[in-house]
Amino acid sequence: MEKYLSIINKRTFIALAITSVAAFITITFEFEYNFDLTMISIAIIFPLVFTIRSAFKRREKALEFLSRFRTGLITTDASIQANTKITLADRKEIRSYILELSKMLVLYLGPEPLPMEKVRAAATKITNFIDLRREIFKMSPSLKIHGFMRDVYMGLEATAGIKEHHTPTSIRAYCLVFIYLYPIIYIPSLYFRMNSGNADFDHWVLYFLAMFSTFILISLFNVQEQLENPFDQQGLDDILLDEFEIKEENLVSIK
């Protein structure tokens, strides 16, 4: 239940407070006008949907690159462990480097991140290990291992880019401002339409419709904010980073 309530925050209460005040003033002073509410959808809904879609695409890309990173590391380890010319001590050493890199990337992406330089340094240890033992590998296996490491580096850097570079901040700020302005524009128009029916209506209906529509908009904005960083483990749709960390049991046994 706590996670489901995570879309409610201080922005929600600010938006609902503005809505309550706007509804009270509209009813008290009978302030109304006829306004085409299609403009609201253009001003708010379109950019809001755009940012949600962009954040969702970033999440899907992050899953793709994390999978590529994990697969590249596992395949690199399997290729090296299968080479009988490499000593047992060296195979244990490269295994420790691979486990270290995997753990460091998960820590970097998590809520309390490590510096990216440490993650890159851990990846360099693996590359240096392979380069220093180039004479042990034949040409074809060496090229394959470097190909696997290319996937590791691509997954590493692409995931870091997704974490550091978000969807346009200006559009998100624009959406939030217009969500706060929305009840001021929408409620008098809603009041006009309800009055134009030439029938008495309970003012609580106006309060309910205004609060409900505002809650929907600000909740969608909060969902987008949570999707914006799919690594911080705070939203319902965050990536389960532990699923991508390589454990000893995920790798072939060292013989």
113-136: pLDDT as tens digits: 889 999 999 999 999 888 887 777
Cα 208 from Cα 206, distance rounded (Å): 5
Give the tens place of pLDDT for each residue, 168-211.
888 889 999 999 999 999 999 888 888 876 567 778 888 999 99
Alpha carbons within 13 angstroms on the beta-carbon side of residue 84 total 0
- pTM for this one? 0.83
CA angle in degrees (0–180, nearest 5) for 79-80-86: 145
**Cα–Cα distance for residue pair 166/201, rounded to 1 Å:** 46
Q: In whole angstroms, what is the distance from residue 154 CA to residue 162 CA?
A: 12
Banded pLDDT at 253 (limits 50, 70, 90)? confident
> For helices 10-29 and 169-195, what crossing angle results, to 10°?
30
Give yes or no for a contact between 58 and 224, defined as CB atoms under 8 angstroms apart: no
pLDDT grade for 166, boundaries at 50, 70 and 90: confident
pLDDT tens, position by position, 18-28:
999 999 999 99
Separation of alpha carbons 134 and 223, rounded Å: 49
Indicate the CATH number for domain 54-166+241-247. 1.20.120
Q: Where are the domains of the chain?
A: 4-46+180-218, 54-166+241-247
| pLDDT at position 215 | 95
Using alpha carbons, select from 161, 254, 189 the residue that is nearest to residue 23. Answer: 189
